[in-house]
């Protein structure tokens, strides 16, 4: 079997890991990389590192991994498709849903393997959760919640937490539930201003099968956390993606305990805790990519162990929907009186800050919200400053 010639574009935090894993894969020869940073070559002394993609393409690549900043994915990916190179692009696939769809179409038209590095699908805990849900262990899934938080990243900040972090959770949620998003809403906040983008977000959504989802993301927490919780009719699964721990708690009709007149049943059920072990997710992801390249029949379908670019584009439809809408704000001041007063009370919305992008739409939504105040306090979309704060909500 002939060796596949591999390249890496972008040798930062993620690109170095890709280079390490590719260099160790059977049947693959890492032949070069490119990165405009003159210091990047020090990370990879075994193969040439060029300052631009043209030189790398002269090495006659079979496959390539793109781990450059997100804003550069579309331009680099287009050139690789035009050059006939099978490509895995890091998540998020591109900077916008439109760019992502163009990329997916380019690779499909060229008959090339085009996939995206949604690595959480290769996390052993996520795989185990999907399998157990598919096996009916929690019954009908009702709710999926994720929490992805950690310290501020010392790396590129060309996008905010929705593209950088929530894209992981959106993809894994769609994947384990087997259903796409149909509604989404979010409150986002820009706290540091360092990236010019949002630093934290609370996302609420609904999947096509009615599952309610919720994602908490930030890069402001001193504690790194990657948690997924799935609640179903028969029980719940909770996974810690960092430690590999998976808990199950079932309803099972309750537990019998001794009572004065004999055993009585109290709520409770089977509980188990397991430590899920599996291959390094990046190695599994790249092995899937290489296998797809070896066996590719033109276009990658869902059967291959890769995440097709089309799926990456669908994740970006969700991130775009979150970022296109202003933050959703619940008017809490209306909830201070007796319940009846709350129900009939007006929904008050604090003044808007100077116009952010799409402010005309915001104003229209605010108007719509105020006109529907006969019932319960409503969710009103708008950018509203916290009292005394310059932060955007």
Nearer to ligand NAD by Cβ, of 68 and 286: the residue is 68
User: Contact with ligand NAD (CB under 6 A): which of 155, 183, 265, 348?
Assistant: 155
CB of 260 to ligand NAD, least distance (A): 56
Stretch that binds ligand NAD, among 61-69, 129-137, 213-221, 250-258 (CB under 6 A): 61-69
Stretch that binds ligand NAD, among 68-76, 230-238, 303-311, 335-343 (CB under 6 A): 68-76
Stretch that binds ligand NAD, among 36-44, 140-148, 253-261, 382-390 (CB under 6 A): 36-44
Nearer to ligand NAD by Cβ, of 221 and 352: the residue is 221
Q: Which of 10, 123, 25 is nearest to 70 (CA)?
A: 10
Give me the 90-109 binding string for ligand NAD, x by CB under 6 A, dash otherwise: xx------------------
Q: Which of 130, 177, 114 is nearest to 308 (CA)?
A: 114
Is 170 a residue that touches ligand NAD (CB under 6 A)?
A: no
Distance CA 59, CA 32 (A): 8
Burial of 310 from C-beta contacts in 10 A (0-12 / 13-18 / 19+): buried
Stretch that binds ligand NAD, among 9-17, 331-339, 362-370, 374-382 (CB under 6 A): 9-17
Is 70 a residue that touches ligand NAD (CB under 6 A)?
A: yes
Nearer to ligand NAD by Cβ, of 72 and 103: the residue is 72
Exposure of 343 in the CB half-sphere (CA atoms within 13 A): 3
Q: How wide is the angle at C-alpha 184 spanned by C-alphas 179 and 189, nearest 5°?
A: 135
Sign of CA dihedral 207, 229, 381, 340: positive
* Main-chain dihedrals φ then ψ at residue 108, nearest 5 degrees: -65, -45
Cα separations in angstroms, 122 against 147, 171, 195, 275, 308: 18, 12, 29, 16, 14
Is 172 a residue that touches ligand NAD (CB under 6 A)?
A: no
Is 9 a residue that touches ligand NAD (CB under 6 A)?
A: yes
Q: Tokens 């096996």 appear where?
A: 135
Nearer to ligand NAD by Cβ, of 201 and 366: the residue is 201
Is 12 a residue that touches ligand NAD (CB under 6 A)?
A: yes
Nearer to ligand NAD by Cβ, of 21 and 334: the residue is 21
Q: Which residues contact 85 (CB under 8 A, 6 or more apart)?
A: 7, 57, 61, 62, 63, 64, 112
**Total of chain residues touching ligand NAD, rule CB under 6 A:** 25
Nearer to ligand NAD by Cβ, of 19 and 213: the residue is 19
Is 288 a residue that touches ligand NAD (CB under 6 A)?
A: no
Residue 183 structure tokens: 């509604």
The H or E element that residue 81 is part of is helix 73-82
CB of 145 to ligand NAD, least distance (A): 20
User: Contact with ligand NAD (CB under 6 A): which of 80, 119, 126, 328?
Assistant: 119
Q: How wide is the angle at C-alpha 291 spanned by C-alphas 106 and 178, nearest 5°?
A: 70
Give the SS3 label for residue 21. Answer: helix
Is 121 a residue that touches ligand NAD (CB under 6 A)?
A: no
């Amino acid at each position: 079997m002939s060796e596949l010639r591999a390249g890496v574009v972008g040798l930062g935090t993620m690109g170095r890991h890709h280079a390490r894993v590719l260099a160790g894969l059977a049947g693959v020869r890492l032949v070069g990389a490119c990165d405009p940073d003159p210091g990047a070559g020090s990370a990879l002394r075994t193969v040439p590192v060029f300052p631009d993609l043209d030189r790398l393409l002269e090495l006659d690549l079979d496959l390539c991994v793109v781990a450059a900043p997100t804003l550069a994915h579309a331009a680099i990916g287009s050139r690789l498709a035009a050059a006939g190179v099978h490509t895995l692009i890091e998540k998020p696939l591109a900077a916008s849903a439109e760019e992502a769809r163009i990329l997916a179409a380019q690779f499909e038209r060229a008959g090339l393997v085009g996939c995206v590095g949604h690595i959480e699908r290769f996390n052993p805990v996520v795989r185990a959760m999907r399998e157990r849900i598919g096996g009916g262990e929690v019954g009908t899934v009702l709710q999926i919640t994720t929490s992805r938080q950690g310290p501020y990243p010392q790396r590129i900040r060309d996008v905010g937490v929705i593209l950088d972090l929530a894209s992981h959770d959106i993809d894994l949620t769609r994947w384990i539930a087997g259903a796409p998003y149909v509604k989404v809403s979010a409150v986002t906040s820009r706290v540091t201003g360092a990236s010019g983008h949002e630093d934290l977000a609370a996302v609420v959504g609904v999947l096509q099968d009615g599952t309610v989802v919720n994602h908490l993301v930030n890069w402001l927490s001193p504690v790194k956390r990657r948690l997924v919780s799935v609640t179903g009719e028969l029980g719940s699964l909770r996974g810690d993606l960092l430690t590999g721990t998976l808990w199950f708690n079932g309803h099972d009709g309750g537990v019998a305990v001794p009572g004065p007149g004999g055993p009585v049943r109290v709520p409770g059920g089977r509980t188990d805790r397991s430590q899920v072990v599996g291959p390094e997710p990046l190695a599994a992801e790249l092995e899937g990519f290489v296998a797809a390249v070896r066996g590719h029949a033109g276009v990658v379908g869902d059967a291959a162990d890769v995440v097709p670019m089309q799926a990456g584009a669908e994740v970006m439809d969700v991130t775009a929907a979150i970022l296109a809408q202003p933050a959703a704000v619940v008017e809490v001041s209306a909830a201070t009186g007796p319940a009846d007063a709350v129900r009939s009370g007006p929904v008050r919305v604090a003044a808007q800050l100077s116009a952010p992008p799409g402010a005309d739409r915001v104003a229209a939504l605010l108007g719509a919200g105020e006109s529907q105040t006969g019932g319960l306090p409503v969710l009103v979309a708008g950018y509203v400053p916290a009292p005394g704060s310059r932060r955007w909500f």
